[in-house]
Structure 1
Amino acid sequence: MLRSMITASNTMNQLQKQIDHISHNLANTDTTGYKAKNTSFSELVRQQIEQVNEKNNEVAESRKTPPGLRVGVGAVLTDQLTHKQGSIKETGRELDIALTSPYQYFQVDVDGEVQYTRDGAFYLAPAAGNADQLQLVTKEGHPVLDENGNAIRFNQRYKNFQIDGSGTVTVSSGNQNEAPLSFSLGIAQAVKPQALAEAGSNLFSVRDDLRDTALINLNGAGRQDVSIKQGFLESSNVDVSKEMSDLISSQRSYQMNSRAISMGDQMMGLINSVR
């Protein structure tokens, strides 16, 4: 009874984590560029219990199970980011940029640390320390970086934007006497996607010791692999019907394990009441 209660309680703890993941996915159904987390279960380590030998050989042979009795102690949850491409929706806004190839991410500066996002809804904001300049930022105000890791800044006279499919941003002032300026958006390709860790606000971070092996900066010849559409945004890749069916299944499993604990408690109460 104690073993069954421990198994059920361990599994309930993991089921609660699955429900939390599902809730997070559903809450971000309309979040631009959001990547859902899929969950799966595997069995915790099992214990091998051998039948006790009896002095009476006949009784021992009748009771002993040759391979022994293998008893588990519950289930453990594993989660994994799903990098499947989300649907592309047209907005017509010139600073909305959608990455149309999976595993590619924009690079942004978050308090001096390079982080990554699929959310291409960008804006213009005054550059810090220079009122005459504008810089390209995310909706949270984080500077968007170019291929050299620098913030994209230019004089506020430049207001006309054009972004090609390889991520080259061209800005012009409309004055024929001023040459247009060009910047290449910083794009990184994740070759080890599971090294990306959620950092909040639809951003991902990578540990410094994994950065060189988990990501490739698409510079130089690598720019031909960049795939971008201006005036579009990528929707989240959350499959609402799948999440709802997983939620129902996990709730039923949680209920079943809860009943197992209740039944074990009742049986222990009966045993303790025997005089």
Structure 2
Amino acid sequence: MLRSMLTASTTLNQLQQQIDTISSNLSNSSTTGYKAKNTNFSELVRQQFDQVDEKNDNVAKARKTPPGLRLGVGAAMNARLVSDQGSIEKTERDLDIAFTSPYQYLQVNVNGNRQYTRDGALYLTPAAGNDNQLQLVTGDGYPVLDENGNPINIDDSMKQITISENGTLTASTGNAGDASQQFNLGVVQVNNPQELKSEGNNLFSLNGNAAAALEELNGANRQSIGIQQGALEMSNVDISKQMTDLISSQRSYQLNSRTITMGDQMLGLVNSVR
């Protein structure tokens, strides 16, 4: 009875994490550039009790399963980032960009740390310490970095901005013959998306020392960048799948809760025996 209650309580904790993950996916179904997480379960270490002693060697060798009882201790939830390409929605806004390759991310500076995002809704804000320049930032105000890891500052006289497919930003006044500015957006290719750690606000960092998990797309590699200006990538959350998973996890939660209740009732009966 106690073992069943411990097993159920362990699984309940993991099911709650699954429900939290599904809730996060559903709440971000309209978030620009959001990448969903899929969940699955794996069995934890189990204990083997050899209570069967086969007298007949032929029978013992013919067994398809080990003799005795195999008692588990619950299940562990695993969450995997889904890197499938989201749908592209045109906005016709110059500072909106959408990645057309599912494994490419924009580099941003978050409080001195380099992080990555696919949210292409960008803005211009006055640059700190320079009234004549504007800084390219994300919707949360984090500076967007160029290919050298530096913030992108544009003269406030520049009125027209174009961003090419390979991530080159060109700012101009819109008048023929005037000088223009060019910057290469800092873009990385993530070769192992599971090494990305979610930091909230649609941002990711590298999970530990996993520098080999990504590749900076500089020089000749910039030709592989896929960016569409005047558009945004929508969330890749499959709402129907998330709702199905939610129903399944709620039923599993109900079953394990019932297991604990029944175990408690059985212990109550044992304690009441005189």
Please tell me the TM-score bracket, short chain as reference. over 0.9
What is the alpha-carbon distance in structure 1 between the residues aligned to residue 193 and residue 252 of structure 2? 30
- Post-superposition Cα deviations, 1:175-208, rounded to whole Å, max 9, x if no partner, equal 3342221111110000121111111211111156
2:91 corresponds to: 91
Tell me if structure 1 keeps the 8 A contact 2:52–2:68: no
Q: In terms of mean alpha carbon deviation, does 177-186 or 92-101 score higher? A: 177-186
What is the alpha-carbon distance in structure 2 between the residues aligned to residue 155 and residue 163 of structure 1? 16
1:23 aligns with 2:23: yes
What is the alpha-carbon distance in structure 2 between the residues aligned to residue 21 and residue 66 of structure 1? 36
What is the alpha-carbon distance in structure 1 between the residues aligned to residue 207 and residue 68 of structure 2? 45
1:10 aligns with 2:41: no
Tell me if structure 1 keeps the 8 A contact 2:143–2:151: yes
What are structure 2's unaligned runs of at least 5 residues?
A: 56-64
2:194 corresponds to: 194
TM-score (norm 1): 0.92
What is the alpha-carbon distance in structure 1 between the residues aligned to residue 240 and residue 267 of structure 2? 41
User: RMSD value over aligned CA atoms?
Assistant: 1.6
- Post-superposition Cα deviations, 1:124-147, rounded to whole Å, max 9, x if no partner, equal 111111000111111111111111
- Which portions of structure 1, spanning 4 or more consecutive aligned residues, are displaced by more than 3 angstroms? none
Q: Note the 1:1-275 alignment, pairs <5 A.
A: 1-51=1-51, 67-207=67-207, 209-211=209-211, 213-275=212-274
What is the alpha-carbon distance in structure 1 between the residues aligned to residue 143 and residue 271 of structure 2? 66
SS in 2 for 1:115: strand
Quote the offset at 1:163 in angstroms.
1.1
Identical counterparts, % of pairs: 63
TM-score (norm 2): 0.93
Quote the offset at 1:33 in angstroms.
0.4
2:59 corresponds to: none
Q: In terms of mean alpha carbon deviation, does 193-202 or 170-179 score higher? A: 170-179
What is the alpha-carbon distance in structure 2 between the residues aligned to residue 43 and residue 13 of structure 1? 14
SS in 1 for 2:209: helix
Partner AA of 2:95 in structure 1: L
Aligned residues: 264
